């Protein structure tokens, strides 16, 4: 039997329901996802809200700039706060958050700590310095360096060494960036490897054959099904 990777629902079950909504997150868990993925920003009143872009809108309503809008007004657009996620769904799942707004970083940790969920929190960023700072604030959280291979400014072996020295636990790349040799290289430094944008059955099979530690997908039912088949 193969070791199962974490199955992260990208912005919830976003192929089925509006992304980054409580409905999409609940649907993902109902379909069997082991983890949820979302994006964290701060509202104008300092709340951590789960939204991908710098603006939010619903239907034909005027787009609202997240940083200039209160959490209550964003809720009318189905943008939840992080605390709403924990209140509605508990904390019995892995939670991967892209920290797009550095101001949200420590606030995320405060909310997760209050929910007793810091040890299941995966903080993701392309900014290694930000991750190091958040790691000092929350030693039990997992730190994920999200990067494209073509954007590495050092050779992969040096990148792996720097991450390991910095206390960063995971490297997260697009599924097309990974190869068996690259996975082995990062594993040699004690790092986990995550693959994002895994959508089609053939893509799941390709990254599962590489023995990655986690996959991210919009298609939760497909993801869960292929991973269950792979474990047999």
Domain housing 167: 6-38+93-231
Q: Is residue 48 part of a domain?
A: no
The predicted model scores a pTM of: 0.96
CATH number at residue 156: 3.20.20.190
Question: What's the pLDDT tens digit per position in 83-98?
Answer: 999 999 999 999 999 9
- In terms of pLDDT, which residue wins out, 59 or 77? 77
**Sign of dihedral through CA atoms 190, 195, 201, 203?**
negative
CA distance 152 to 230: 31
Q: Is residue 124 part of a domain?
A: yes
Looking up tokens 């924990």 gives 86
Q: pLDDT band at residue 2, thresholds of 50, 70 and 90? A: low
- In terms of pLDDT, which residue wins out, 3 or 118? 118
Give the residue among 172, 175, 162, 166 at the shortest CA–CA distance from 210. Answer: 175
Q: Is residue 127 part of a domain?
A: yes
Determine the Cα angle at 42 with ends 140 and 121, to 5°: 20
- Please state the rounded mean pLDDT for residues 182-197: 98
**Mean pLDDT of all residues in the chain?**
95
CA distance 108 to 92: 17
Residue 1: what pLDDT? Answer: 54
Q: Is residue 164 part of a domain?
A: yes
Q: Is residue 110 part of a domain?
A: yes
Q: Is residue 70 part of a domain?
A: no
Residue 63: what pLDDT? Answer: 86
- Please state the rounded mean pLDDT for residues 91-118: 95
Q: Is residue 73 part of a domain?
A: no
* Residue 142 in tokens: 């997992």
Question: What's the pLDDT tens digit per position in 158-168?
Answer: 999 999 999 99
CA distance 105 to 55: 19
Q: Is residue 19 part of a domain?
A: yes
Number of domains within the chain: 1
161-194 burial: b if 16+ Cβ within 10 Å, else e: eebeeeebbbbbbbbebbeeebbebbeeeebbbb
């Amino acid at each position: 039997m193969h070791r199962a990777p974490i199955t992260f629902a990208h912005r919830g079950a976003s192929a089925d329901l509006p992304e980054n909504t409580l409905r999409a997150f609940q649907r993902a868990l109902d379909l069997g996802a082991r983890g949820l993925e979302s994006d964290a920003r701060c509202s104008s009143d300092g709340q951590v809200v789960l939204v991908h872009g710098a603006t939010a809108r619903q239907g034909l309503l005027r787009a609202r700039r997240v940083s200039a809008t209160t959490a209550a007004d964003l809720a009318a657009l189905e943008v939840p706060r992080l605390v709403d996620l924990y209140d509605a769904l508990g904390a019995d799942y892995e939670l991967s958050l892209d920290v797009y707004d550095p101001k949200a970083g420590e606030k995320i940790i405060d909310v997760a700590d209050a929910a007793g969920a810091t040890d299941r929190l995966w903080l993701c960023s392309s900014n290694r310095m930000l991750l190091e700072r958040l790691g000092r604030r929350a030693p039990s959280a997992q730190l994920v360096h999200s990067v494209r291979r073509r954007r590495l400014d050092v050779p992969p072996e040096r990148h792996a060494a720097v991450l390991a020295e910095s206390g960063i636990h995971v490297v997260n790349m697009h599924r097309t960036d990974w190869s068996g040799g690259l996975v082995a290289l990062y594993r040699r430094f004690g790092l986990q490897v995550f693959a994002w944008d895994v959508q089609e059955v053939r893509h799941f099979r390709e990254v599962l054959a590489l023995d990655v530690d986690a996959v991210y997908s919009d298609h939760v039912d497909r993801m869960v099904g292929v991973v269950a088949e792979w474990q047999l």
